Amino acid sequence: MFRPDREESQPVNSIHYIIRRIVRSPGFSFMVAITIALAVSVNLGVFSITYAILFKSMGVPDQGKLVYYTLGSGPDTRTVISGPAYEALRTNPATRETLAWRQETFHLQGPRGMVKILGAYVTGNAFSVLGIFT
């Protein structure tokens, strides 16, 4: 049976129930709050360290300018750009510092046999655009 007055008061009843539970067992409530605070702190610390190690140490002076353009959407999106389109991007003052790359899996002969290495083919200006070894 539908009772609108009862459904409207349900959030208020839930809040009253939560407050009653906290008052009845303050030790448990305190431990829950401490556990959540520790989890958030550890999460923040791990992401801060990851950011500092992976992104700050990349050696790219102006990371805010790094942009990745794609056509389409979804996990299988691939960007294919022709040579003339790439040159047109490089002649435009807004996109002058443009580089192109293609991800590739390389197979190298190691002492224990063939080894797969993930790498990329990049344009000749890649290091200068990224500000590495200039």
Which residues constitute the domain of residue 95?
Answer: 62-130
- Does residue 68 sit in the same domain as residue 121? yes
Query: What distances in angstroms separate CA 118 from CA 84, 103, 107, 110, 112, one per listed residue?
Result: 27, 7, 9, 15, 18
8 A C-beta contact, residue 60 and residue 41 = no
- Choosing from 57, 85, 102, the residue where a domain stops is 57
8 A C-beta contact, residue 95 and residue 89 = yes
- Does residue 43 sit in the same domain as residue 16? yes
pTM of the predicted model, to two decimals? 0.42
Does residue 116 sit in helix, strand or coil?
strand
Which pLDDT does position 103 carry in this prediction? Answer: 82
- Choosing from 57, 80, 100, the residue where a domain stops is 57
- Choosing from 57, 72, 88, the residue where a domain stops is 57
Reading the chain (134 residues) residue by residue, the pLDDT tens digits are 455 555 556 777 888 888 888 889 889 889 999 999 999 999 999 998 888 777 666 666 666 667 766 666 666 666 677 778 778 878 888 777 887 778 889 999 988 899 999 998 888 888 887 777 65
Number of domains in the chain: 2
- Does residue 11 sit in the same domain as residue 46? yes
